[in-house]
Structure 1
């Protein structure tokens, strides 16, 4: 049985008022994951820009060769 199957089985036994809290929790996890992805993309872009700035002469020589 997969984790999803187990989770669905457990959710079938949870009262409706608690399901709202579970839903909020799941959404908060998704939001955290999206934020981490955005931070990773920003960090990668910044690393590229730093590299480009530091190695400007190298890139110019490669482009002209």
Structure 2
């Protein structure tokens, strides 16, 4: 059984009144994961731009 299956199974046992709080938590985790990915992509871009800086300078000087 996967972790996702276990979570779904556990949710079946949670009272309905607790579900909005759990949903908020899940959405918060999803947002954090998305922001983390965006930050890693941005950092990779900046590193790439830095690595190519010398190439751009040489092209501009020629």
Shorter-chain TM-score above 0.5: yes
What is aligned with 1:45?
Answer: 45
RMSD of equivalent CA atoms: 1.9
Which structure is higher in RCO with an 8 Å CA cutoff and minimum separation 6?
A: 1
In 2: Cα distance, 1:4 partner to 1:48 partner: 36
Give the aligned length: 59
Unaligned 5+ segments in structure 1 are: 61-65
Question: Deviation above 4 Å: which 4+ runs of structure 1?
Answer: none
In 2: Cα distance, 1:37 partner to 1:4 partner: 21
TM-score when normalising by structure 2: 0.81
